[in-house]
Structure 1
Amino acid sequence: MYIDIHTHAFHPKIAHKAVEHLNGHYDVACAGNGTIDNLLERERKAGIDRCVVLCAATAPAQVIPANSYAISLQRAYPDHVIAFGTVHPGYEQWEAELDRLEAAGIRGIKLHPDFQGFWLSDPRLLPIFEASQGRFVFEMHIGDRISPEKNPSCPYKLAAILDAFPRLQVIAAHFGGYRMWAHALKTLMVRERPNLWFDTSSTTPFATPMLVKKLLAACPPERILFGTDWPLYDPLEERQRIQQMGGLSDSMMDRILSNATALPGLLEREKTRIGAAG
């Protein structure tokens, strides 16, 4: 099974505005229109079986609606979508919300500190991480074009979290540091961490082939997860680009596309559903 671990799909009422925001923030022209139908169409053309759709609340008041949308996506497309919910350190009822997500079969949580308006080092996150160990996989946006000390989500902040919570399963987006790959290589990739995976999203459009090869070589091969950051980038184009720039064999590319199936807990919802049906 091939899985795209990093995608976004927005409610039809806000998809256009969300894409405009992404275009402006990242200075790109998004490859998709931001809707779930467009996403699933592009994944099919790329030969991708499942996609993880990430939802993030940019304010505490958005936690409930963002998670309700995630739950609705997973229920509407059970054979194609694995939805990740979200939390926000400013949302005081986070414990009840984690319970709601878990009861609904949501196995992952997305954090994007830069967009959500907090720092990854915010002490309010610590009890959330503690309560989430063994329950959720976290997908965390890491990095930006500014220096680490000014960035809410740099590799050093993530390294501190991984050390403090060794049972917290984390996917570091963008090879552990969008536009901060030198820092990711120095902190997150210097030793193998049993609770850390890396996704490939939003890297190849900005990196040289030499850097892509260096990042691939620095990560344990079973810890590299294919991700596109759709609607920013097209799944088929991203699949071809990383294979070409990384000089990957077909068998290694197949492994990267399939690695997410072994991520603990990610497909637990599906196993439960199949067991109930049998």
Structure 2
Amino acid sequence: MSLDLDNIVAIDVHTHAEEPCNHARDDGYNEFQQGMAAYFKNPAGHQGMLPSVEETAAYYRERRIAAVIFPVDAERETGFHRYSNEEVAEICAANDDILIPFASIDPWKGRMAAREARRLIRDHGVRGFKFHPTYQGFWPNDRMAYPFYEVLEEEGVVALFHTGQTGVGSGMRGGMGMRLKYSNPMTIDDIAVDFPDLRIIMAHPSFPWQEEALAVAQHKANVYIDLSGWSPKYFPEILVKYANSLLKKKMLFGSDWPAITPDRWLADFENAPFRDEVRPLILKDNARRLLNL
């Protein structure tokens, strides 16, 4: 079975494989997830009941929402073992009526990251890669990551970058060592220039750099914004203004599952001041075009 877009009501471009699928939880991982749960007011993290990838597929299938899903490789910065990209991709393949596989490789792995990325794309059908500059501790425009980006551009897959404030480490001692500066969206501008054929998504309303993100997305044809990680009722006025006008074909629905559920996001989206003609673009049409579905 494959994705039936006529039966799909929305495409969530930002969901996480948070529960380790290939090893036990590392020391400190429970505390990390509890901090995330407190930030997002998500009881699942407090109770240690984060969904598996298979449970995520069932949840989204019931709602007829397709989901881009990925782990995050931040072994260097956190000491937490990464999840298996291959295993996530295999589960996606078994649930390809609803899940779209992305992967994550720490860009500090250099040419090793580039080789792994090409193999994941060609052998496992991975459609894009998630980067979290704060969690992975790097400037997105650092040249050490360029061999990795070259592969993504050559293979025609998507690069999705976290931008702005993050729930990772929020309220924890020293912010768990996370440095917010790395997630300023203006660094994405360099990548968009140097890799003009690489399709790029800037994830989240980019507090406190929202206007920088809007400027980059407006100026660079290959850059999009996903609206995950925030309830739409908290979106900055200028973000909604641009979504309703200049960037209406560049905005994408994303929830940040399991931190924020699509049920919550979509309910608040209904009451947010988006134009009727823009809503289907955000929920499905823009992602369908961007992902070449």
Asked if TM exceeds 0.5, the reply is yes
Q: For the structure 1 residues 132 and 124, does the alpha-carbon distance in structure 2 shift closer, same or farther, using more than 3 Å as the test?
A: same
Equivalent in the alignment of 1:180 = 209
How far, CA to CA, are the matches of 1:237 and 1:205 in structure 2? 9
Q: For the structure 1 residues 62 and 167, does the alpha-carbon distance in structure 2 shift closer, same or farther, using more than 3 Å as the test?
A: farther
Counterpart AA for 1:216: A
Of 175, 199, 206, 1:169 maps to 199
In 1, are the aligned partners of 2:134 and 2:180 still within 8 Å (CA)? Answer: no
Sequence identity (%):
26
Equivalent in the alignment of 1:106 = 126
Equivalent in the alignment of 1:272 = none
- Unaligned segments of structure 1, at least 5 residues: 268-278
How far, CA to CA, are the matches of 1:117 and 1:210 in structure 2? 30
Equivalent in the alignment of 2:135 = 115
Of 160, 173, 181, 1:139 maps to 160
Equivalent in the alignment of 2:40 = 28
Tell me the secondary structure at the aligned position of residue 97 of structure 2: coil
1:85 and 2:113 are equivalent in the alignment: no
Equivalent in the alignment of 1:67 = 85
How far, CA to CA, are the matches of 1:196 and 1:8 in structure 2? 21
Of 113, 116, 132, 1:97 maps to 116
Tell me the secondary structure at the aligned position of residue 5 of structure 1: strand
Tell me the secondary structure at the aligned position of residue 139 of structure 1: strand
The structure showing larger relative contact order (alpha-carbon pairs under 8 Å, at least 6 residues apart) is 1
How far, CA to CA, are the matches of 1:6 and 1:31 in structure 2? 20
Tell me the secondary structure at the aligned position of residue 140 of structure 1: strand
1:11 and 2:24 are equivalent in the alignment: no
Tell me the secondary structure at the aligned position of residue 119 of structure 1: coil
1:163 shift after superposition: 1.4
Q: Point out the more displaced range, 70-79 or 30-39.
A: 30-39
Per-residue CA deviations over 1:69-115 (Å, capped at 9, x if unaligned) read: 33222222121111111222322422321221112111101101111
Counterpart AA for 2:95: Y
Counterpart AA for 2:191: I
1:126 shift after superposition: 1.5
**RMSD of Structure 2 on Structure 1 (CA):** 3.1
Tell me the secondary structure at the aligned position of residue 171 of structure 1: strand
How far, CA to CA, are the matches of 1:233 and 1:64 in structure 2? 22
How far, CA to CA, are the matches of 1:212 and 1:30 in structure 2? 25
> Mapping of 1:176-215 within 5 angstroms?
177-185=206-214, 187-189=215-217, 191-204=218-231, 207-208=234-235, 210-215=237-242
Q: For the structure 1 residues 247 and 132, does the alpha-carbon distance in structure 2 shift closer, same or farther, using more than 3 Å as the test?
A: closer
Equivalent in the alignment of 1:57 = 73
In 2, are the aligned partners of 1:196 and 1:223 still within 8 Å (CA)? Answer: yes
How far, CA to CA, are the matches of 2:81 and 2:195 in structure 1? 23
Q: For the structure 1 residues 255 and 115, does the alpha-carbon distance in structure 2 shift closer, same or farther, using more than 3 Å as the test?
A: same
The size of the alignment, in residue pairs, is 259
TM-score scaled by length of structure 1: 0.80
TM-score scaled by length of structure 2: 0.76
